[in-house]
Structure 1
Amino acid sequence: MDSALITIGLPVALAVIMFGLGLALTPADFTRVGRHPRAVAIALACQLVLLPLVAFGLVKFWGLDPLLAVGFMILAASPGGTTANLMSHLFRGDVALNITLTAINSIIAIVTLPLVTNWALGHFLDDGSQIGLQFDKMAQVFAIVLVPVVIGMLVRRASPTFAARMDRPVRIASAVLLFLVIIGAMIGEKDNIMGYLADVGFVAALFCVISLSVGYAVPRLLGVTEDQAIASGFEIGIHNSTLAIAMAITVLESTEMSIPPAVYGILMFPIAAAFGVVVRNRAVLTPSEKVDAPVS
């Protein structure tokens, strides 16, 4: 936890990732919800209600160590990651819906992430180690989530050409920094890493599969179009694991709690790719199902 890679690299990595998200957003991404309220509402319900319930059920069933259990709950409460947009594009999802969901979820997480984390700490640890809604902790979450996004949006508004040119380099830098942070978090717990992997590896993989499946199947069953359901699946299955790691290490000062999101951050990409292949080949979209939505 005291390594420079974690104490300095983690905030920098998260700032770059959230700044990159801001470069891809415009105010229209927030107002577009009015065009497809059903798809957005269903996806948000899955993200905010079903996922924490699924995570809670998994950690209770497997009887995970309390600190690891809290880490999973932090992960479940984290918004979708920016990679969901890329995955959705590659596998014919509604990218505009992804952008809208990422934007809205990132704002909602300012409140829901501390609430879920606080509840998890009280339930699993029961030692008074709660972050509550204290001003300083809320300010940290606010700074972690929102400030870099707003800066990125302001840069895009001032210079759309620059924002477009920086999109790819920022995405690459985000991926590299995320990898380094995950490796750094694991190195910090190298003496326990094999035990942690044995404890959380299968649960993390299962949680990823369930997240992707719920994100796709629930909207589909409720009448959402195929491309929107694919977008929802990726948005719900690909979490902002860097934010979860930052919450665990920076706000709660617990490397152990960062292990589940770190492991998840590694496993979710190949699992999401496999999921994309399955849903892409499941059915050919008909013209009546496709929804033309502008991508900002």
Structure 2
Amino acid sequence: MDYARLHSSYTFIILFAALFGYFLLPIEIYQSTRDFIPLMLALVMLGMGLTITPHQLKALRSAGLFLILGIILQYTIMPLTAFAIAKILNLPPLLILGIILVGSSPGGTASNVITYLARGDVALSITLTTASTLLAPLLTPLWVYLLASQWIPIAPAPLFITITKIILVPVILGILIRIYWHPSKRILNQFLPVFSMLIIAIIVAVVVGLNRTTILSSYLIFIAVAIQFTIGLTAGYFSSNFIQSKQSRAKNKPRSRAVAIEVAMQNSGLAVALALAHFDPLAAVPGAIYSIFHNIAGVILASYWHSQPSKT
């Protein structure tokens, strides 16, 4: 499958969805659709589980230092960066919460495709996504509670239950189904990615539609998202280089790229679902904007890295 064309189409679809949500359909349509977002995200995560094989699960035990580094950065640099940016920019409480939700989320599945396009280590990327997703029910509510409770009352238990229902259970169910059912390459490489694209596009359209009167005035969110992505990417890449000897850096460029992309690209759909399920539609705006931004920035970055030499 042509992943470059697939992801460029994804970027176009996400942008179109944002414009659609802003200019078309009355807000009542989006209000009636928002309740289905957790279910839609659960279906996306079920699809992710179907792509995970027992061999990839075993790889979690042998992924080594890069896996540990990626997980540590995912659940320290990203939430703490979100907190610092929100404080510095003096954002309203609900937007602060939204930024922290994004920063506390696990890696997004789009990172695997971007890693492929960037000539990164795809196996490591999938392993990192799987590990951070499995840890999300514990670490995401913890970070949201620690960082956002000074602005918004946070109850970690409901967040834990929601993440377990829409992330952990569907992924584990998909893994169990995959043990007994081996879907065709057409399903894995074409149907599931396109299905996930459309679901995320619908989520973006709903969030933009619910916040059409305030989203453009929240220009600081665009700045915050760009800074958050850039810090995650930079920390992932240079930390990966730091733990290697000078001789092995050239050889392990694919791993450094995989860690950098995985840390920077968040599961923004989860941030949106949590915001809509437990808080306010305004708290979902950072997640929707992050979804748009990290796909555009990811494609640009992947195009640059693809043109650079990289040993496999």
Q: In the alignment, which residue of structure 1 is the partner of 2:287?
A: 261
CA shift for structure 1 position 215:
1.7
Unpaired segments of 5 or more residues in structure 1? 291-296
Cα distance per residue 1:70-108 (max 9 Å; x no partner): 111110111111111111111111111111111110111
**Residue 5, structure 1, aligned to residue 28, structure 2:** no
Does the aligned pair in 1 maintain the 2:119–2:305 contact within 8 Å?
Answer: no
Residues in 1 aligned to 2:304 and 2:238: alpha-carbon distance in whole angstroms: 13
Matches within 5 A, 1:1-296: 3-8=31-36, 10-125=37-152, 129-132=153-156, 134=157, 136-162=158-184, 164-167=185-188, 168-196=190-218, 198-223=219-244, 225-250=252-277, 252-282=278-308, 284-286=309-311, 290=312
Does the aligned pair in 2 maintain the 1:22–1:148 contact within 8 Å?
Answer: yes
Amino acid at match of 2:235: V
Residues in 2 aligned to 1:218 and 1:193: alpha-carbon distance in whole angstroms: 34
CA shift for structure 1 position 137:
4.0
CA shift for structure 1 position 36:
2.9
Residues in 2 aligned to 1:137 and 1:118: alpha-carbon distance in whole angstroms: 10
Cα distance per residue 1:106-125 (max 9 Å; x no partner): 11111011111112331233
Residues in 2 aligned to 1:49 and 1:191: alpha-carbon distance in whole angstroms: 33
Cα distance per residue 1:186-214 (max 9 Å; x no partner): 11112212112x12012112211222222
The runs of at least 4 consecutive aligned structure 1 residues that moved more than 6 Å come to none
Amino acid at match of 2:91: L
Residues in 2 aligned to 1:77 and 1:62: alpha-carbon distance in whole angstroms: 19
Q: In the alignment, which residue of structure 2 is the partner of 1:293?
A: none
How large is the Cα RMSD of the aligned pairs?
1.8
2:115 partner SS: helix
Amino acid at match of 1:4: S
Q: Give me the TM-score of the superposition, normalised by structure 2.
A: 0.84
Does the aligned pair in 2 maintain the 1:44–1:101 contact within 8 Å?
Answer: yes
Residues in 2 aligned to 1:140 and 1:259: alpha-carbon distance in whole angstroms: 19
Residues in 1 aligned to 2:267 and 2:160: alpha-carbon distance in whole angstroms: 18
CA shift for structure 1 position 35:
2.5
Cα distance per residue 1:24-82 (max 9 Å; x no partner): 11233232133331111111111111111211221111111111111111101111111
Query: Cα–Cα, structure 1 residues 12 and 140, in superposed 2: closer, same or farther, change >3 Å?
Result: closer
Does the aligned pair in 2 maintain the 1:209–1:271 contact within 8 Å?
Answer: no
Does the aligned pair in 1 maintain the 2:60–2:131 contact within 8 Å?
Answer: no
Amino acid at match of 2:232: S
Unpaired segments of 5 or more residues in structure 2? 1-27
Does the aligned pair in 1 maintain the 2:96–2:148 contact within 8 Å?
Answer: no
Q: Give me the TM-score of the superposition, normalised by structure 1.
A: 0.88
Does the aligned pair in 2 maintain the 1:5–1:181 contact within 8 Å?
Answer: no
Query: Cα–Cα, structure 1 residues 170 and 161, in superposed 2: closer, same or farther, change >3 Å?
Result: closer
Does the aligned pair in 2 maintain the 1:212–1:272 contact within 8 Å?
Answer: no
CA shift for structure 1 position 221:
2.1
Number of equivalent positions: 277
Does the aligned pair in 2 maintain the 1:212–1:275 contact within 8 Å?
Answer: no
